[in-house]
Amino acid sequence: MITVESLTKTYGGFTAVDDVSFSARAGRVTGFLGPNGAGKSTTMRMMVGLTSPTSGTATISGRSFADLPNPGLEVGVLLDASAQHAGRTGREILGIAQRTMGLPKGRVEEMLHKVSLTDAEAERRVKNYSLGMRQRLGIATALIGDPEVLILDEPANGLDPAGIRWMRDLLREYADKGGTVLLSSHLLHEIEVIADDLVVIGNGRIVAQGTKAELLAAAGTVVRADRALDLAAAIRGTGQTCNLDPDGTLRTEVDAAQVGRIALDAGVALTELRSADGAGLEEMFLELTAETQRETRTHTERTAA
């Protein structure tokens, strides 16, 4: 279990992480999703003591990272796969982790096997690794201490489709055995297929969080009708909100069945009626982060907002 409470990080006058609170639960994969520069890495770095928070706390299984006597046995961390010592071989890097954590020697070979790095690859220097191989080695290093918690920043970066599938299965299995997985991504589809819970961050602030099912349900209904204005008025007449796009598409929080009944009562013929989750989380993600993605906003405006 990871608990983050009111984490804030400011650099000069710029607020990179702004009062962020969430938890990642055991037995579940929590996706930490946000556009580039949203504050994911900074939040994760604060969780593992690499960046000191301006205020707020983060705990792993109830303790702050600094208080963990042998952190690698409690939490596996992969923040930057390219940060591994380039002159060492993969096997050497795992060997150092194994010795530092006081683990049996056999763990190195077990981990190489687990992440499908061959003998020849294990003997190669990391500077000659592809990004995908570095990610595999990074995941092996994170897992070597058999921790209960995994914190992975963009672990799918550089993996090919088969590699992404492999990692997804590995993390699923890990969570199904009771592990806590927090993984970040700026790619929605990557997160959508693997996460049970989602925390969406934009501009340093949490803009949505909940189970994937809840967030999908919250995406509402997309509807088109011959008299869209009348239908919009009828929906609003029930006290619910709805938006009418310039192309005549209505979007509402009301579920599809209820929209159908409202349309029937109003005598409006529907030409399209579907749950917005057909579009996946994309619509929600773009909507939620549109405000925070504007390239034109200055740092001053962002901190003042």
Which residues make up the interface to ligand ATP (CB under 6 A)?
A: 11, 16, 34, 36-42, 186
CA separation (Å) from 283 to 7, 101, 200?
27, 44, 13
Q: Which residues, in sequence order, are bridge partners of residue 84?
A: none
Tokens for 207?
């803009």
Tokens for 278?
């057909």
Tokens for 234?
């009828």
Q: What DSSP letter does each residue of 35-102 carry, written as one string? A: -TTSSHHHHHHHHTTSS--SEEEEEETTB-GGG-SSGGGTEEEES-GGGS-TTSBHHHHHHHHHHHTT
Q: How many CA atoms lie within 13 A of 112 on its CB side?
A: 20
C-beta closer to ligand ATP: residue 145 or 204: 204
C-beta closer to ligand ATP: residue 15 or 98: 15
C-beta closer to ligand ATP: residue 39 or 138: 39
Tokens for 173?
């299995």
d(CA 81, CA 100): 19
Instruction: State in angstroms the smallest separation of the CB of 133 from ligand ATP.
Output: 21
Pairing of strands 14-24, 149-153: unpaired
What's the first-to-final CA gap in the chain, in angstroms?
A: 32
C-beta closer to ligand ATP: residue 41 or 221: 41
Instruction: State in angstroms the smallest separation of the CB of 66 from ligand ATP.
Output: 20
Sheet strands side by side (includes 29-33): 75-78, 149-153, 180-185, 29-33, 197-202, 205-211
C-beta closer to ligand ATP: residue 16 or 142: 16
Instruction: State in angstroms the smallest separation of the CB of 115 from ligand ATP.
Output: 23
Instruction: State in angstroms the smallest separation of the CB of 201 from ligand ATP.
Output: 7
C-beta closer to ligand ATP: residue 34 or 71: 34
Instruction: State in angstroms the smallest separation of the CB of 106 from ligand ATP.
Output: 35
C-beta closer to ligand ATP: residue 34 or 145: 34
Instruction: State in angstroms the smallest separation of the CB of 156 from ligand ATP.
Output: 12
CA 225 to chain centre: 36
Pairing of strands 149-153, 75-78: parallel
Instruction: State in angstroms the smallest separation of the CB of 118 from ligand ATP.
Output: 30
